[in-house]
Structure 1
């Protein structure tokens, strides 16, 4: 979720219960509402972000990556929480997040 200072705060625990899943869904909706997320392609484990992603701190990007990956893993039903973060206009891969390998930024 987006904090008052503009920071991103994800749910505090992995999604395992319906209430937890709802927290991740809300965080995704918040990020769409503020213009960070352009679209999500669950089938390809990709989140396309706008330029609003770029000024975020590494920690904020890591948190968003965790939220993206958990959301995708739940909606695919695989339990494999990973994603690629892509720029919506250029298609450039900006970052990746994996529950097992962590966050890596390519910008």
Structure 2
């Protein structure tokens, strides 16, 4: 089961991208903030977390990390749970930091082991 399926109960949409261009206006009529851009460029309150999950899905060596969750607080990607080793956590942080709209990655709620 992939990250999107496990965390958000959804299959990857055909047009999903890690860094899509916004295709519509925000609910207030303005520009969509980078952390609110969804998988296909639409406004999505959890857009950044979903795009990070998609980025994790694209990394085969991250598929076995089933005790970790991804959330967001504004532009901060929040990782929670447990990972198998420090190298895996470091890779996850690196992948998450590479997603448009991510300003930081919080790992204080992650245990290694």
TM-score range, shorter chain: 0.3 to 0.5
TM-score by length of 2: 0.36
The TM-score normalised by the length of structure 1 is 0.38
Structure ID, larger Rg: 2
